[in-house]
Structure 1
Amino acid sequence: MNKTTKELPIRYVERELQLISIDPLVMFDQEGTILDVNDAMSRVAGRSIDELIGTPFADYFTDPERAYKGAMLTFETGEVRDYELVMKARDGTETSVSYNASVYKDQKGNVVGAFAAARDITEHKAAEHEIKNLQQYNRGLIETSLDPLVTFDQEGIILDVNGATIRATGRTRKELIGTPFADYFTDPERAYKGAMLVFETGEVRDYELVMKDRDGTETSVSYNASIYRDQTGEVVGAFAAARDITEHKRAKQEIENLQQYNRGLIEVSLDPLVTFDQEGIILDVNEATVQATGRTRKELIGTPFADYFTDPERAYKGAMLVFETGEVRDYELVMKARDGTETSVSYNASIYRDQTGEVVGAFAAARDITERKAAEQEIENLQRYNRGLIETSLDPLVTFDQKGIIMDVNEAKIRATGRTREELIGSLFADHFTDPERAYKGVMLVFETGAVRDYELVMKARDGTETLVAYNASVYKDETGQVIGAFGVARDITERKNAEIALRESKTELDLIFQIAADAMCVIDADFNVSNVNKTFIQMVDMDEDEIIGEKCYDIFSGELCHSKDCPLEKLKREEGFVERESVKKRPDGREIPVILNAARLDRGGKFAGIVEDFKDITERKQAEIALRESKAELELIFQIAADAMCVIDADFNVIRVNKAFIRMVDLNEDELIGKKCYDVFSGEICHSKDCPLEKLRRGERFVERESVKKRSDGKEIPVIVNAARLDRDGKFVGIVEDFKDITERKEAEKEIRELQRYNRGLIEVNLDPLVTFDQEGIIMDVNEATIQATGRTREELIGTPFADYFTDPEMAYKGAMLTFEIGEVRDYELVMKAVDGTETVVAYNASVYRDQTGEVVGAFAAARDITERKAAEQELRETVGRLEEYTNRINNLVVTMLGEITVK
């Protein structure tokens, strides 16, 4: 210690505190010349203490001018807080630090110098930088999807959207975020149910909705959604991606139109038209054939074609001749009707083939079996569709007749009852519940009123398992409008009921906590009326509860914050989440009480409803602070400037001194700390162990430094870096000084980084299309599960390999990847993806670059849309149109031929 510092009024313990601080600590005079430093400053600067003392304080920073201004500012204002500088060491190492400084005075009150403590914020800056990069990466993942992509919370409120959603809705991101997801569909109720179903089941697939744009444009979409979780596994929201299925709907409608056209071609002919197979068995007839034979279509179809002519043998030979030669022209026969009427006819026929070229039948006269085939296909499709509707339901689904007899069930019903479909069908619906009579009444109520909603029953399984369900049922009718049965679907409401019970218990528990709280607490509505108080509040204001409830809060417990912009209710109404500050409150009898005021916002239905206020009486603490300031002013100057929590502990583990940072850290008053055992006020895993700092220093060690997790008396755990130094007096061990550096922010930053990384993965995996990120060399950096499935390779096999290697034309794929970096994005770039098993998939790639925090391009996102089905549908449509044109030409030719014959006769 130099001569100047020896003359300062600093006791031995104060010097020890300075030396053990892990942050660089400097004392300088009013010229900015260093008077003294600690070992931490010596290590960071890379110079000895003697080299530093007597030199300008500003010389050890990258910006000496700014450092000098900060030093002078200390003498102008008395102190400086969080003044950021970059410290440079002898070897060129640079360290980002945040300086806190204040002046100190001699016994006469004259300023003689200043103390400055530097906090290393390098890790904090790096964490902020990484978080920003991850946030930009998230945005890139969202925006690379061509499909509208939305994230929403468990209330269905939108948290984020991508550009595709903005374009699809015609609204800005600002307009969309914070609004209900369901508001942007033609059926908001169905959209909301779909959103809630995600949180019930974990995911939703192919959920069809109609999205509406601001200008009224409607788009049919198929939604896929899944939940995502935070680091603790708690569900915090859901991702939803919408696939535009407008073209699919249009193609389906066109096929239906073509089917109707085919039937019309058959029935428009005035001549009998028949189709038959290679055995001569009739496959189809038109109305003219029905009238000509005097038999119904049902009687004709499935019978021998030759049976309806006067010469069956000749008719059969003509039918077989068609298959031998491909066609027959002007083959005369006499058709006979049921009533014996005979008609001479000219039989013209030609074969027809299936898609593979195989002959499957023949047309006679004007022949077309489109309607019958279409009808059969439509019936099969309807049957599959019906079965799909039934089986897609995760809830048990039943159809029953007007007697309550089960007609059909889905797989969920089979699992719920533990019985086979055969056992269930034909049995009484009511027999599968604990209260058959109530179940039967519910069935009858459906047919009386047309529908039943939320009808609660208890379903029983074969093994005795009981499940609480809410039934919804409605009747269905035949073509004539007659009721023929009812659909019933059961929703398992066991969890909901349990949640309702838990909610009631939770409310009871909260009310108990509210009433027994040591602090005074009150609830205030949006109009400043007191709506609830606890017993401590009643004692604090010294009034009866009925004198308080319904009164204005500022009339009961006034203070300097009332009727000002700092009023907690007004601040929280403006969307602030939490208010904490000291205040002096005044009771109606005039008594003033210093308090720490904490206030939190209350929302109901998404709207501001009021606040909850907590008043901690700090009268005793205030008195103790005044006494402490008067008796320990000199030591407080150094001790209190330290940004870290510090305490002095004697050889018997008793706390004998603490600084303000320590008091804040443990959240106890000073008088609750002094004289207490250190392990009672701030415990941890090293207490009562061989690693206890006091025990280690008692055994002769001079200094201890390690990370630890300390636990406050209220149970809160705080991660810290513990530094401890030995205190000796007259050569004897008398205790230790401990310094606790709170590293919560660093830990939280690390946690936030992990959660952002988890969020990234969720964004990648929710996309149903293969998604890849690659660098500017075209090397794969990351893939989602869809890419793994599409290529048949693991993530480890894909990452680090060329993107272009997984396409049939690597050169074209590589050019597409490079084009992304040249122009910023690529749209609808068609490639053929090849899997490890040789499977090839036609895809349309869309890609765009993404940047780091500095705006530098670091890679690209690429999403592949499988367009195989679209290509196949286009091909099938072309083939169908071609076949229809061929059939039409043949029909027209036959009609012309027969018209010519009629004219000749």
Structure 2
Amino acid sequence: MNHNNKIKEFIQKSNWVFILFGVNILLLVDKNSKTTNIKNKLEFFGYKVQYVTSSAREAVEKALEIIPDIILMDITQKEEIESINTFSKIYESNIPIIYLNTHSKDSEIRLINQINHYRYIIQAHKSRDLKYALDVAMHRNKIENILKGDEKQYTDTLNTLPEGLTIIAPEGGFIYVNKIFEAMIGYKKEELIGHDLLKFIDESELPQMEGSLKKILDGETFEIQCKFKRKDGSVLWTIAKHSPLYEDIGKNNPSIVLHTDITELKKAEAELELASRYNRSLIEASLDPLVTIGPDGKVTDVNSATEKATGYLKEEIIGSNFSNYFTEPEKADEGYKKVFKEGFVKDYPLEIQHKNGAKIPVLYNASVYNDETGRIIGVFAAARDISQLIQAEKNNQLLANVVESTDDAIIIKSLDGAILSWNKGAEQIYGYSAEEVIGENISVIAPINLSNEISSLIEKIKKSEKIQHYETIRLKKDGSIINVSITLSPVFDNYGNLIAISTIARDITERKKIENELELAGRYNRSLIEASLDPLVTIGPDGKVTDVNSATEKATGYLKEEIIGSNFSNYFTEPEKADEGYKKVFKEGFVKDYSLEIQHKNGTKTPVLYNASVYNDETGRIIGVFAAARDIKEYKKVMTALRESEKKYREIYEESFDGLFITSPNGKILDMNKKGIEMFGYDSKDEILDLDLMEDVYDDPTDRAKILKLVNDQGSAEYEVVVKKKNHEKMITHCSLTAVKKNGVITSYRGIIRDITQSKMAENAIIRAKEEWEDTFNAVPDLIVILDTNFKVLRANKAMAKKFNTTPEEMVGLTCHEVVHGINSVPSFCPFSKLLLDGHEHTSEIHEDNLGGDFIVSVSPLNDNNGKLRGVVHVARDITERKKIETEIKKSLDEKEVLLREIHHRVKNNLQIIASLLNLQEINDNQCADNVLKESMGRVKTMATVHEKLYGSSSMSKINFREFTEKLVYDILYSYGRRMIKTNLIIEDINLNIDTAMPLGLIINELVTNSVKYAFPDLNGIITIKLSSSKKDMELTVADNGIGLPKDFNIENIDTLGLELVKNLVNQLEGNLKVNGTDGTEFKISFKEVMYKDRV
């Protein structure tokens, strides 16, 4: 049952039923007045004039006799006014009195008001005014009688309603108001009753209200929003629900009106509307593409900058996959999912694919945003166009319409909590019908965890405590929880005894949602501002700053608290121009690329371009300017850097040691660098671009189809293929090819080609050597034997066995000194004994009578995978006949000593290959090539690392030597598996040219490699490398704390290629080399940087 019906029920219970037609009137008039005229008017309106007199005393006597419904009294005579006190008995009988006054003085009216201010006076009355006064007096008199009667319980209920209650006469005057309405509007009921409703309506709503009065006259039931003027001048908005007081009399029927205060809701709607427009202005003012993404990867909002960047309309983008607009959709998917996982990404690189095919490289900054419960509901992402350095603002439209409030629940319960009455509002809010709950305990609507709350509230009412607008939660019939605001009031009987409790409950669930949405909008709005990398600012009409982001703090050097409230123009080198700019926005609505110069607190200046637009309140009034600044200094720097980068990578492309090329799907070469052109033997790029791949390049034309199928299926592939050079020679190459797609269609192929003809030949040679190693072993004329660490023969070649007139198999198990020297112990000159001591190769020249000649004997260690000595390869070469010749050759070729040493070193390496291959055959076949090439690969890798660092350097002629050395040393330790060896690098952060870096790198490679191999038998130690410079020269130190150098070590008399190479490289640097082997090993080289010579 709604409020209006409840009140009607109350009126009917109070027997408040009357009809104005047939009302009896006693008329007291001035002797000189036109009595007939007044009497006729009354009878015309349907009233009955019972008695007419000009004497006040007579009127009192007659009134007490006939008891009229109303007394109409003319008070123009002074003596009659003075005799008004004689009406006191009539006042006690509650007969309403209308005072007619057409020309009385104000003092007379004040007298009447003092006597009884509840009666009414009509001055200069018209017929309509007369009837209106009579109606109001009758209705009000009836209401007063009822309210003074036995209906106190209902009156208390009406006055505790959360709504304002009024009763309006058919002509629009107030007949009754409850206390809530008095509090709403700020007027006392004495200031309202008898006055026209329109007097209190805001002027802007008068046309609408005049139409509503016609509905009241017609007895209609309707609902309308009313805008009242409070007594203090503020505005009161209500939802007014009108219904006729009586159902059976048609027109001219008073109206019962319930007023629900919606002033705060109206304010919330205005604030939401303002926040929405402000938020959208942030989004659209941004020059950067902004987008919000739901958890499913679908786009939920974009700004116009996104439309421009993608070429698609907002309506096309929203609802589609975020990844649709990038050249790498998978990477875009990974990016937004990463935000959901980690909460934020910064500078995430992507490439926007425009509808027209254009590509825009961007960096994305993105973060999640949450609802009021903290649940992640989406991602906000801002893209920075790094090709043009266009910055932007984030955006998202996250506000919802406010759900209108529902009717309140009015419940009366007994002191023990039993429900006595349950209105329609309660049915709507809680879901129970009155029949279901009347008689039940009120705890039926309380959640289990709040079951004690209701009894606690009842106890407070019993103690006369007030409970107003108490916010809590309640349980609906369907099990759902709602937020409510409740007011509890006592209900007394006629004797003042507490007999029940009235509960007024308002469903504030929607209001709570609105508050949460406002809070979310505020957080979201702030996230937009703070996520932007550009300085953002809002300015009021007075030129004062109202909000800034952290980028503005950074640009100006001032804190947010210092900037807000200050003049916008304070932070520019030209304040007047800044003032003109923001005023121009207020005047024209928008400015674009407005140039200013920000003055930082420390004096630095930043040139910027401003884009700005106005934003409005809910009425459309402009209330501020939103401005975004673009730092064009950084843009210029980036553009310069981009050009330099492009030039640099073009140089790298052209100077690469590998061939780089681009081909079309139909088999044409689109581009090739210098190395590729040189590799194929052509003189110019024009020649290479005229070639057809299948006819002119592939040795087997069918290879191309096979390769393309592989690349098209996988996106990229590595393969070996034989191609033809210009001179028709065949070249074995290793290629890496990648398909380049646009809109899912392959537009070109990009590849790297390397000539592996020589390495392939070497590889094949190693394989053949592995297959034929035993034949080679047996075919060598030198005497070769493999010994274990106990000097016993493990293997002997045929030459060795033949020398002793036996077979290789028969020699196995014999000791070498028994076989060769014919003795039972190891001779003192045995090189194997020395090897057992230091693990190094040893070579000796001996004369052996048992063998009948002179021999050069060489022993090389055989180590297992852990570096443990397993045995030696013992090689003896008969030099008896060649000794004299060798001496002469050495004397005549002194100037070729270095070359001979290199040849000799390579001979020893070849012997080591044979030994290693033999060892691998015995131990592990897969390590042969690695053991042979490891040191050479170290030197090659040193030079390759120099070039690698050159490619990564800003200069094509210099490298950062500290970074180069760190990588070089790491690679050496990794290559030899010596990670337990520690390094101490003390190298200045200097750049060296290639002519200095290359020999230094090779020196470090040789010395560190020697340390790794020989300095630490227990595999633990420290290698120290220092490089320092002064104005005159530089100094390189390579040292270790290992076992040191042999006592007879002489740098001027060395027989190893590595140290010989070190000496030559020091000479190349025109430097000095010092060696100290007393405490570990230390090589110290002083030199000057070699001047770099440009290559032609």
Give TM class, smaller chain.
0.3 to 0.5
TM-score by length of 1: 0.34
* Structure 2 length-normalised TM: 0.29
Higher relative contact order (CA 8 A, sep 6+): 1
